[in-house]
Amino acid sequence: MDFENMNPVKNPKESRSNGLSYQQLLDTDSREVPDVLRMQSSRDLPFVRVPIDRYTSQAFHDLEFEKIWKKVWQFACREEQIPEVGDHQIYDIGKLSILIVRGQDAIIRAFHNTCLHRGRALKDRPGRSLQLQCPFHGWTWNLDGSLKQIPCRWDFDHVKNEKTSLTEIKVGTWGGFVFINPDPNAEAFEDYIGDLPSHFERWPLEERYIAAHVGRIMECNWKVAQEGFMEAYHVASTHPQMLSAIGDANSQYDAWDHFSRAITANMTPSPHLRKKPSEQEQLDAMMGVSLDGKPSMTVPEQRTARQTLGQLSRMQLQGLVPSVQDLSDAELSDSIYYTLFPNFHPWGAYNRITYRFRPLGNSPNQSLMEVFYLAPFRGKRPDPHPFQLLNAHASWTEAPQLGSLAKVFDQDTLNMAAVQKGLHAAGHQEVTFSQYQETKIRHFHSLLDQYVKS
């Protein structure tokens, strides 16, 4: 693999779209905007080109498994999915299967999901049990991984109890998410996520519950799938119905150590449009109103569509979120989408979305995309909405819990298998990324490069 061939950006002069910058838009907010939205990174990133075989070759896929998935902190499950003693979830990544268990002491631990006898997976599915018993011969461990019992103990004189604990895997938690790292020598989780928690201080994700969790098998490399959700550059061509109400080309992109961020303003017209839509047209576009349909809401006089949506969102969040009247229009309207390397995409403010992408099985050509809606709640935490898995030919609208966004996901999905097909069919060697709008993807590839070379 010729990594030297990846051209760094020669001219660091920043390319930006015409039209209002995101920071200028924030100046028009009806509330004070939090500092975190005022932050801008100043990082020069290499890699405007990467080799196509990063997406298509089995060799690179295998390298990723060794250098990324076995080495990196990754989101395994939500704490709310294992609230009680003995609750367990399974996180499969490539060839690895990891069991995440809530112990008697309420501590969350993770183990290789493998029996130390003859290697059967200990658990086939998530559930609750007060011990971890292999279904094959009945070897049994306590929830803390210590050996509890071996049937016919007399026959295993050579097996020492103290050396037969389940192989533990490092665990870290943030925002109600449980992360694991299969590498026993991994750096501390807190060091890895860095300043990310401070970005979410105003929007605590631990105080949300899973209102929807839908996965879909994608006939493409996991990076092809996730890179479709890391920029707003595709909006004009893939979601043209949104253009009246989305500041796609004037999004802001930032990158820090292991995480990056994009902010795309909603309820502001796209710079692509020749004629500026009226405030009402912007609101209608956001609400998906048909040309011959009646508007579901009216923009009051002297108000903008952005302020109207902000006000509506404040009403909806009233009682669910503290100090809702102080939330800025930006926090209530915009798409603020973070990415923690390699595959975890929590959204900021109150947009509810979190994505996760990962390879499925051992193929560079198939992946699993998951959508979580993390919703605020009042009173007792509602149970997580059950996971729904859609097959590779399903429409996202088969999961009605996703609401109107399902159709937008379908539009994104329409590209995925076609990209994979095109990459395999390519007569050239590299894909190329934009200078600014694809910042997050370039940041991702620079980290990917560091890891695979390490």
Partner 1 sequence: MKLRHALSQAIYIDQEDGTVLVEDPNLGEGVFRINGEWIRGKLRDADPHMLLFVGGPKLAKPNHSRTSSPNPKARCLPLGSNSNAPGSRSHMELGLEGKRVLITAASRGIGQATAQCFADHGCSVALCARGEKQLEIASQNLKERGVQVFSQSLDVSNGDALKNFISEAGEALGGLDVYVANASAGAGPGEEAWQANFDIDVMGAVRGVEASLPFLADSETASVVFIGSTAAVEFLGAPQAYNAMKAALIAHASDLSQSLAPRGIRVNVVSPGPVFFEGGNWEMIKQTMPQVYERALAQCAIGRMGTPDEVARTVVFLASPAASLITGANLVADGGFTKRTSF
Task: Indicate whether 163 belongs to the interface with partner 1 (CB under 8 A).
Answer: no
In order, the DSSP letters of 107-165 are -EEEEES--TTT---S-SS-EE-SSEE-TTT--EE-TTS-EEE-TTGGGGTT--GGG--
From candidates 48, 98, 180, 243, binder to partner 1 by CB under 8 A: 243
111 vs 347, beta carbon nearer partner 1:
347
CA distance 279 to 294: 15
Residue 340: C-alpha distances to residues 60, 211, 230 (Å): 21, 22, 11
Residues contacting 257, CB < 8 A, separation 6+? 194, 195
Show contacts of 163-167: CB within 8 Å, 24+ apart: 164/116, 165/141, 166/111, 166/112, 166/116, 166/122, 166/132, 166/141, 167/111, 167/112, 167/114, 167/116
Interacting residues with partner 1 between 44 and 73 (CB under 8 A) = none
135, 197, 300, 403: which one contacts partner 1 (CB under 8 A)? 403
Taking the C-alpha atoms of residue 253 and residue 41, their distance in angstroms, rounded to an integer, is: 8
Instruction: Tell me which residues in 313-352 interact with partner 1 (CB under 8 A).
Output: 316, 319-320
ω into residue 184 within 30 of 0, thus cis?
Answer: no
Nearer to partner 1, 59 or 414 (CB): 414
Nearest by Cα to 103 from 140, 126, 132: 132
**Which of these segments, 25-33, 90-98, 192-200, 230-238, binds partner 1 (CB under 8 A)?**
230-238
The token pair that represents 393 in the structure block: 């030919």
Q: Which of 32, 27, 11 is nearest to 327 (CA)?
A: 32
Backbone angles phi, psi at 210, to 5 degrees: -75, 100
Among 241, 278, 363, 450, binds partner 1 (CB under 8 A): 241
Alpha helix stretches (DSSP H) within 255-325:
279-287, 305-317
18 binds partner 1 (CB under 8 A): no
Instruction: Find the shortest distance in angstroms from Cβ 383 to partner 1.
Output: 10
Q: Locate 398 and state its tokens.
A: 């088969």
Residue of the chain from 8, 12, 361, 400 that contacts partner 1 (CB under 8 A): 400
Tell me the number of residues near partner 1 by CB under 8 A.
46
d(CA 405, CA 212): 12
Q: Judged by CB under 8 A, does residue 151 bind partner 1?
A: no
Is position 184 an interface residue for partner 1 (rule: CB under 8 A)? no
Residue with Cβ nearer partner 1 (45 or 243): 243
- C-alpha 214/C-alpha 171 separation (Å) is 24
Among 20, 52, 121, 287, binds partner 1 (CB under 8 A): 287
Taking the least distance from each CB to partner 1, the nearer of 140 and 316 is 316
Name the minimum Å distance from CB 86 to partner 1. Answer: 22
Work out which of 127, 197, 240, 322 binds partner 1, going by CB under 8 A: 240
CA dist 433 and 439 (Å) reads: 8
Which range of residues in 46-54, 164-172, 214-222, 236-244 is near partner 1 by CB under 8 A?
236-244
Q: Site map for partner 1, 368-397, x if CB under 8 A?
A: -----x-x-xxx--x--x---------x-x
**Per CB under 8 A, which region of 10-18, 154-162, 292-300, 359-367 contacts partner 1?**
292-300
Among 10, 160, 163, 294, which residue sits at the site for partner 1 (rule: CB under 8 A)?
294
Question: In whole angstroms, what is the distance from residue 436 CA to residue 260 CA?
Answer: 13
Interface positions with partner 1 (CB under 8 A): 211-212, 236-241, 243-244, 270, 272-273, 287, 290-294, 296-297, 312, 316, 319-320, 373, 375, 377-379, 382, 385, 395, 397-398, 400-404, 406-408, 410-411, 414
